[in-house]
Amino acid sequence: MNHPYASLTPDVVMDAVESTGYKCDARILELNSYENRVYQVGIEDQEPIIVKFYRHDRWSDEQIIEEHVFTQELLDNEITSVPPLLIDDKTLIIHDGFRFSLYERRGGRAPELDDPQSLEVLGRYIGRIHRVGSSRLFERRPTITADDYGYAARDYLLANDFIPEDIRDAYESVATGLLNDMHNILNESFEKIRLHGDCHMGNVLWRDATPHFVDFDDSRNGPAIQDLWMMLSGEGGAQSEQMRHILIGYRDFAEFNFRQLRLIEPLRTLRMMYHSAWIARRWNDPAFPRAFPFFNTARYWSEHVLELREQWAKLSEPVLQVYI
């Protein structure tokens, strides 16, 4: 059976864009996206635009529109996000069975994580995002939980025979042990807010000394630290210093509960588990074997088990220390 994206030909892409009133000049560039299909499309006598075709079975229409409303709310508060364009009072459009949205093209470079001033600016903008995000929760989009990111990921991989037989017991043992040990921490009652959800360097474009946040496709409810820890790199000392500068900027606009620092390694672990299951769930999409050729090999699963064991050890280490 063909994957649903198999029928998304260049002609369909151009027809979809032209159905909104734009006139394509036949230039199409496929961008680096796997979960959805994203293209830069040339427009006659105008700047190119970005068109994003949503995966059929991931989000409901209502959940996608919640994301759109959030990004527009951020822009209305002068926060540099990139909401979809409004076409006939709609941001989610349907053409030939595909749901899509149009966006302005936005350029920029990756932020400099070794620059304290850049980190403080990043912190200020994330703080502003969270100040808006804390005004209410998503009603349709989910909340980050161990059930979704951890238990469901583990169970899917075990039930669908992705893990080699000689590694299966080791994976099940370490994954289950990790989830059991993280249970109490992850179930503490930290405040939940609307998040970007996937706030890493690849989703931040630096332009005119300002970060521009893109790709809110993973937006959901969760603790504020989820949008902060992925900015960290290096060892513990370097991460402490990076987080210090991020929080100096962040706290100009939003409160931060320092107890959330103990969530960093559990959230990192859940992301690792979820990422493997995410690739597995999409393995019938030809874009995924092309993008992740190393996946689903004995070496990959052996290294994944080793990474999870290392994460298990980190859960016993002292929480990241940040002094401001």
- Specify the CATH number for the domain of residue 192: 1.10.510.10
- Confidence at residue 185, expressed as pLDDT on a 0 to 100 scale: 87
Do 261 and 226 sit in the same domain of this protein? yes
- 320 is a domain residue: no
- Confidence at residue 207, expressed as pLDDT on a 0 to 100 scale: 87
- Indicate the pLDDT class of residue 52, thresholds 50, 70 and 90: very high
Do 100 and 199 sit in the same domain of this protein? no
Do 309 and 249 sit in the same domain of this protein? yes
- 250 is a domain residue: yes
- 56 is a domain residue: yes
- The pLDDT tens digits of the residues spanning 294-312 come to 998 999 999 999 999 999 9
Q: Which of 104, 131, 154 is the last residue of a domain?
A: 104
More confident residue, 111 or 242: 242
- 243 is a domain residue: yes
- 321 is a domain residue: no
Do 170 and 282 sit in the same domain of this protein? yes
Distance CA 18, CA 44 (A): 11
Catalytic annotation, pick one of 45, 147, 215, 285: 215
Assess whether 215 carries a catalytic annotation: yes
Domain carrying residue 74: 4-104
- 323 is a domain residue: no
- Lowest mean pLDDT, pick from 184-188, 260-264, 320-324: 184-188
Do 193 and 136 sit in the same domain of this protein? yes
Task: State the residue for tokens 């959030």.
Answer: 70
**Across all residues in the chain, what is the average pLDDT?**
94
Report CA torsion sign: 62, 63, 67, 73: positive
- Indicate the pLDDT class of residue 183, thresholds 50, 70 and 90: confident
- Indicate the pLDDT class of residue 267, thresholds 50, 70 and 90: very high
In 50-187, alpha helices (H): 61-76, 116-133, 146, 152-159, 165-186
Whether residue 181 contacts residue 312, with contact meaning beta carbons closer than 8 Å, is answered with: yes
- Indicate the pLDDT class of residue 141, thresholds 50, 70 and 90: very high
Do 76 and 9 sit in the same domain of this protein? yes
> Does the pLDDT value for residue 1 go beyond 70?
no
Distance CA 195, CA 134 (A): 9
Do 95 and 144 sit in the same domain of this protein? no
Do 190 and 242 sit in the same domain of this protein? yes
Catalytic annotation, pick one of 198, 217, 227, 285: 198
- The pLDDT tens digits of the residues spanning 16-37 come to 999 999 999 989 999 988 899 9
Do 184 and 69 sit in the same domain of this protein? no
- Indicate the pLDDT class of residue 123, thresholds 50, 70 and 90: very high
In 27-138, alpha helices (H): 61-76, 116-133
Q: What is the CA radius of gyration of the chain?
A: 21
- Confidence at residue 61, expressed as pLDDT on a 0 to 100 scale: 98
Do 79 and 183 sit in the same domain of this protein? no
- The pLDDT tens digits of the residues spanning 278-297 come to 999 999 999 999 999 999 89
- 135 is a domain residue: yes
Do 36 and 120 sit in the same domain of this protein? no
Assess whether 88 carries a catalytic annotation: no
The helix (run of H) or strand (run of E) holding residue 205 is strand 204-207
* Domain total of the chain: 2
CATH number at 43 reads 3.30.200.70
Q: Which of 57, 73, 104 is the last residue of a domain?
A: 104
> Does the pLDDT value for residue 158 go beyond 80?
yes
Do 84 and 178 sit in the same domain of this protein? no
- Lowest mean pLDDT, pick from 32-36, 50-54, 227-231: 32-36
- 110 is a domain residue: no
Whether residue 221 contacts residue 227, with contact meaning beta carbons closer than 8 Å, is answered with: no
Q: Which of 47, 73, 104 is the last residue of a domain?
A: 104
Say what the pTM is. Answer: 0.94
